[in-house]
Structure 1
Amino acid sequence: MRLGYSRSKYSISYYAQKTIYVDGKNKSLIVTRFGSEKYICETYGVKDAKAWAQHQVDLMNQAEKEESGEILIDLSPSKDLALNQQRLYNGGYLFLQDVYYSLGLDKICRAISKKHNFEFNLNSIFSRLIYTRILYPSSKQGTYRDSAKFIEQPDFDLHQVYRALSVIAEESDYIQSTLYKNTLKLSPRKTGIIYYDCTNFYFETEQAEDDKQYGLSKEGRALPIVGMGLFMDAEGIPLSFSIYPGNHNEQPTMIPLEEKLLTDFGMSKFVVCTDAGLSSLSNRKFNDYSGEDGSRSFVTTQSIKKLKGFLKEWALDSKGWYLSGQGVHITYNISELDEVNDKDKVFYKSRWIKENGLEQQLIVSYSIKYKNYQRKIRNNQIERALKAIEKGASGIDHKRPTDCKRFIKVDRATKNGEIADQSTYYLDKEAIRNEELYDGFYAVCTNLEEKAGAVVKINQRRWEIEECFRIMKSEFEARPVYLQRKERITAHFITCFIALIVYRYTEKRLGESFTCKRIIECLKDMDFVKHEGKGYEPVYTRTELTDELHKEFGFTTSKEIIPIMKMKNICAQTKK
């Protein structure tokens, strides 16, 4: 191979080419295009684009030469290993690195670096924060230590990691909005329907300060928490997030973040889907908008228990139901359904209501399968409640709406009304009967003039945003949080947020055919033993997943040994 170039009026572009023999004639074949002189200098941080391109051609020639022959490795049972020499390296991060660079995160880091006066390599630190969050989640000190596991070694110190966190937090809005615009260059984003939800993360400290405040923890832990609000598109890829104090109500968090989507992201027309906890009147009215600059609509789950009396009566009435997908010509009485033959059918009814100046469509669905699911969950909770009664039902005064202790009732007075020395605990059968009234029913409200089936289908995808939170909390171990400074806490969640985006795009490249746990474990297990001066020997098991990774990302590491120059070439390829 040799270096080639082409000139235009304003620039010069470089590429690698080689001569091939076709139909009795020599022809030049362009193997790789490196880009224009300006692009090379800006993307790879070099001053001499031609020299950089020539070096890449040399690497490709060396790798091609090494691949053409066998590599002999001499090992002796009498020879000691070199002292303190690292031999095992992870190469699974290279697939994440390919996604990281395709999202333009390196350019975002370079733009931020130009604005601030620091000497450390922000791109190197930021990328390692993301790779380790996915593969080796731990503290920031652990991130610095685990960065040395990768084939490409870190070029920064621990104190620079902490300094970088402050910069990352300061540029949070810029990172989120620019990253969104970069994703549009890869493929169109499905933002016609977006999903919003909130969760919280606890801290390993008892000191409440700044955003760390005592609130209603999702895990029920008596520790300070911060809340996170997250927007996600219809494909399960995060859009934007915000952090708020743990003792604040989550409902007012949606509109400010939504306004950022309108201003910073340039989004103007979408449907917001939320759960009942975020369905306040102000949130609904904000998304009941249509104008020259765009339109907004909403779909939100609705608690049937909280409906007005006449609407609740209508929703629970057994008559006047339609079968999903069949039209509105035949009505059904759900009290007459067959538990076996009608188990998989979904029935619905809808009506328009107007309250507090807002018109919206109330859609209620019913299915036997959902009813049986709810009763199965409740029966398990009742069993736990009975066991709690046997043990004395401690903490009965602090029960949550979904806690099994909501089915436990307590008497603390004698027949004469005196204060009892002992409490009597028993199963609250009336509470159980009241809950059973709503089994199988599910309601949503919307200002869309769509058919009920289409609206219900939109709402059914809310599970994906719940999965986003589960991945952050479980696979990425985003909590507990050990950081103290507010800006470093923000940077921690930016890292988790972008790690989730990088993972989602990796998952999409694989056709969403593998589970999150399997993908991460596979990448984590892709280790290599380095033979100095020879190459990298894979010590992982080749599987259909590793083959799919190599197929989709365009490079292969499942050979018996990867020569040194070939591995350098692969590393460079993932950064294009």
Structure 2
Amino acid sequence: MLMRLSTSKSKNATSLYVIKDITIKNKRTTKIVEKLGTEAQLREKLNGQDPYEWAKKYISELNKKEKENKVEIIAKFSETKQIPMDSKVHFNGGYLFLQDIYYDLGLHKISKQISDKYKFSFDLNSILSRLIYTRMLNPSSKLSSFKASNDFIEQPNFELQHIYRALEIISKESDFIESTVYKNSLKLSKRNTKVLYYDCTNYFFETEKADGLKQYGLSKEHRPNPIVQMGLFMDGDGIPLAFSIFDGNKNEQPSLKPLEKRILSDFDLSKFVVCTDAGLASNTNRIFNNKNDRAFIVTQSLKKLKKHLKDWALAPNGWHLSNETKNINLENIDHSSNNKAIYYKERWINENELPQKLIVTYSPKYRAYQEYIRSTQIQRAEKLVKKPSSINKKKQNDPKRFIDSIHCTNEGEIAEKQVLTINRDTISDEEKYDGFYGVCTNLDDNAETIIKVNKRRWEIEESFRILKTEFKARPVYLSRDDRIKAHFTTCFLSLLIYRLLEKKLDEKYTTKELIETLKNHNFMELKGEGYIPTYTRTDITDELHDKFGFRTDTQIISNAKMKKILKQLNCIMKLN
């Protein structure tokens, strides 16, 4: 609103004011911007110049500066005037950077397509976007997410009941959302789909009741609660591609094929290499990716190889360094951790009528790491030997695997008490594999290239960590299968948007640094005027503003400027 001149007459004088109309909670009111003085004071100050003509020129200049965002805003506060009851003035603006990516991915258009299909009245775009933003900035239950959405500059236009109704729709349209977002992402940047990484993890529930998707299975976090499992495909640059949710008590190996078939049909992809860990490297999955233009790279457990292949893999002869053909015998090298070289050997094998290349690496540094880890586990095992009551089922990488239980004396008689001892044979057997690592593939590329591709599997493991730690995707508080599926759809979209944010910032910052910066990117609202930043300006906030093309780091952002920013970000909601 433009500023204008107003006068107030009293018994002794006429005062001149600069006023403007403002809107607070959809009600228009008038605010005094500046008191210019009485008519007499201004005539004296202006040496007889007409105070009204001067005031009009002065206000015209103020309006010009405001249009150029150069006006200085003056605020008055009173120590005696109470703040209005239930008045909220503190808001988060960090979500605006996420919103820019959200709209670039066309999620607002996807929401409209779904809304037109089902003819519901609530704003799906508003709900979906808030579920995504709160998952990243204030992860919690759906009820808490609803409350947290009031912390954003733009207020929600939906009720809690609408969130639960929206979850049903999101679940039904999850595959459509996923494939459409992928196609829209191609407009932002080229996706590296030459290599696709696949892995699985599971998430526990708050409840102990098992039904539907939530079933008792092998929890990766050793929780005594039902779990649900997630399969995730990631592209060669670490950007999430597709996901699936399946029962917590099912084997994860069969989960690969259905999701990959969906990628083949819905994503218009056909030529790629699938890279998985040993747990998903079943012969069925390898054969499935030995067709057409697809290939596989899988981690190979050396312990599970046939004896003649195991002997070949561990033999000291036949090794070479990268880009060298000279044969090296491992007995003649430095095995200390100071030797950071990686040694290779490879051969073609035919397992279950499937030709594939077996690549084995040996690293003295990796050997030293494994020796260190085992030594700490042996120390723990030795302590456990003194506490027989704490010995239960032995698991992989559990120190208890080194412990044997003896029930007989040396004379073969039944012992009065169970005797625990450290099994040195188990330790010696494990030591044979220290420093060695195996990979199988049907590609004919050189060993170094294959190993380099396989090493990037850490990014999908990091994605799971982000979902579980920063985004708090578990415990899951929902019970219905459709709502569970929708929950993980929003988690997947949050991860996708976060990874794109990382790429936009050239992967300079840690997850914690980025999320904390967005979470603390707060403002205090000056009613009728604008927003005062209360966050700390840092290199990260500067780069965010530079990369996204708008700034909120001036001393105050007027309502007009904030509306312009929201319009720039394709925002369709209005400021109160």
Give the TM-score of the pair, scaled to structure 1. Answer: 0.86
Cα distance in 2 between the residues matched to 1:336 and 1:108: 62
Cα distance in 2 between the residues matched to 1:266 and 1:114: 25
Cα distance in 2 between the residues matched to 1:413 and 1:82: 80
Judge conservation of contact 2:202–2:228 (CA < 8 Å) in 1. yes
The residue number in structure 1 matching 2:74 is: 72
Counterparts in 2 of 1:175-574, with a 5 A limit?
A: 175-290=177-292, 295-324=293-322, 326-328=323-325, 330-340=326-336, 343-392=339-388, 394=390, 396-414=391-409, 422-574=417-569
Cα distance in 2 between the residues matched to 1:341 and 1:176: 45
- SS of the equivalent of 2:508 reads coil
Judge conservation of contact 1:202–1:479 (CA < 8 Å) in 2. yes
RMSD of the TM alignment (CA)?
A: 1.6
Task: Look up the equivalent residue of 1:378 and give its one-letter code.
Answer: R
Cα distance in 2 between the residues matched to 1:439 and 1:341: 12
Cα distance in 1 between the residues matched to 2:407 and 2:568: 72
Deviation at 1:417, TM superposition (A): 5.9
- SS of the equivalent of 1:397 reads coil
Deviation at 1:378, TM superposition (A): 1.4
Task: Look up the equivalent residue of 1:253 and give its one-letter code.
Answer: S
The residue number in structure 2 matching 1:146 is: 148
Cα distance in 1 between the residues matched to 2:266 and 2:339: 47
The residue number in structure 2 matching 1:36 is: none
Deviation at 1:393, TM superposition (A): 5.5
- SS of the equivalent of 1:240 reads strand
The residue number in structure 2 matching 1:20 is: none
Judge conservation of contact 2:337–2:368 (CA < 8 Å) in 1. no
Judge conservation of contact 2:362–2:437 (CA < 8 Å) in 1. yes
1:81 matched to 2:83? The reply is yes
The residue number in structure 1 matching 2:110 is: 108
- SS of the equivalent of 1:512 reads coil
Deviation at 1:412, TM superposition (A): 3.5
Judge conservation of contact 1:66–1:563 (CA < 8 Å) in 2. no
Cα distance in 2 between the residues matched to 1:85 and 1:71: 21
Cα distance in 2 between the residues matched to 1:418 and 1:122: 74
Cα distance in 2 between the residues matched to 1:145 and 1:104: 26
Cα distance in 2 between the residues matched to 1:225 and 1:468: 19
- SS of the equivalent of 1:269 reads coil
Runs of 4+ residues over 3 Å off in structure 1: 61-64, 339-342, 390-393, 412-422
Cα distance in 2 between the residues matched to 1:422 and 1:229: 46
Deviation at 1:413, TM superposition (A): 4.3
Cα distance in 1 between the residues matched to 2:554 and 2:515: 21
Cα distance in 1 between the residues matched to 2:515 and 2:386: 43
Deviation at 1:422, TM superposition (A): 3.3
Cα distance in 2 between the residues matched to 1:425 and 1:572: 71
Deviation at 1:478, TM superposition (A): 0.5
Cα distance in 2 between the residues matched to 1:258 and 1:520: 31
Task: Look up the equivalent residue of 1:352 and give its one-letter code.
Answer: W
Q: Deviations over 1:87-146 (max 9, x none)?
A: 100000000000100011111111111110310000000000000000000000011000
Judge conservation of contact 2:273–2:295 (CA < 8 Å) in 1. yes
Task: Look up the equivalent residue of 1:336 and give its one-letter code.
Answer: N
- SS of the equivalent of 1:569 reads helix
Counterparts in 2 of 1:7-86, with a 5 A limit?
A: 65=67, 67-86=69-88
Gaps of 5+ in 1: 1-60
Judge conservation of contact 1:62–1:565 (CA < 8 Å) in 2. no
Task: Look up the equivalent residue of 1:509 and give its one-letter code.
Answer: K
Bigger shift: residues 426-435 or 136-145: 426-435
Distance 1:269 1:562, change over 3 A: same
Judge conservation of contact 2:359–2:447 (CA < 8 Å) in 1. yes
Cα distance in 1 between the residues matched to 2:331 and 2:99: 57
- SS of the equivalent of 2:357 reads strand
Cα distance in 1 between the residues matched to 2:480 and 2:65: 47
- SS of the equivalent of 1:566 reads helix
Cα distance in 2 between the residues matched to 1:358 and 1:63: 75
Counterparts in 2 of 1:156-175, with a 5 A limit?
A: 156-175=158-177
Distance 1:365 1:84, change over 3 A: same
Judge conservation of contact 2:336–2:368 (CA < 8 Å) in 1. no
- SS of the equivalent of 2:79 reads coil
Judge conservation of contact 2:65–2:71 (CA < 8 Å) in 1. no
Deviation at 1:441, TM superposition (A): 0.2
Judge conservation of contact 1:136–1:146 (CA < 8 Å) in 2. yes
- SS of the equivalent of 1:289 reads coil
Q: Deviations over 1:153-200 (max 9, x none)?
A: 000000000000000000011011111100111111100001000011
Judge conservation of contact 2:336–2:365 (CA < 8 Å) in 1. no
Distance 1:212 1:413, change over 3 A: farther
Distance 1:442 1:568, change over 3 A: same
The residue number in structure 1 matching 2:43 is: none
The residue number in structure 2 matching 1:39 is: none
Judge conservation of contact 1:353–1:361 (CA < 8 Å) in 2. yes
Task: Look up the equivalent residue of 1:535 and give its one-letter code.
Answer: G
The residue number in structure 2 matching 1:136 is: 138
Cα distance in 1 between the residues matched to 2:470 and 2:416: 48
Task: Look up the equivalent residue of 1:446 and give its one-letter code.
Answer: T
- SS of the equivalent of 2:191 reads coil
Q: Deviations over 1:504-546 (max 9, x none)?
A: 0111111100001100000000111111011111111100000
Gaps of 5+ in 2: 1-62, 572-576
Distance 1:381 1:341, change over 3 A: closer
Cα distance in 2 between the residues matched to 1:98 and 1:63: 28
Cα distance in 2 between the residues matched to 1:539 and 1:342: 49
Cα distance in 1 between the residues matched to 2:564 and 2:209: 49
Distance 1:444 1:532, change over 3 A: same
The residue number in structure 1 matching 2:122 is: 120
Cα distance in 2 between the residues matched to 1:316 and 1:268: 37
Deviation at 1:63, TM superposition (A): 9.5
Count of residue pairs brought into register by the alignment:
509
The residue number in structure 1 matching 2:24 is: none
Distance 1:197 1:119, change over 3 A: same
Task: Look up the equivalent residue of 1:116 and give its one-letter code.
Answer: Y
Among all aligned residue pairs of Structure 1 and Structure 2, give the percentage whose two residues are the same amino acid: 55
- SS of the equivalent of 1:571 reads helix
- SS of the equivalent of 1:362 reads strand
Bigger shift: residues 129-138 or 339-348: 339-348
Larger Rg: 2
Deviation at 1:384, TM superposition (A): 2.2
Deviation at 1:414, TM superposition (A): 4.9
Judge conservation of contact 1:271–1:299 (CA < 8 Å) in 2. yes
Cα distance in 1 between the residues matched to 2:354 and 2:263: 24
Judge conservation of contact 2:478–2:484 (CA < 8 Å) in 1. yes
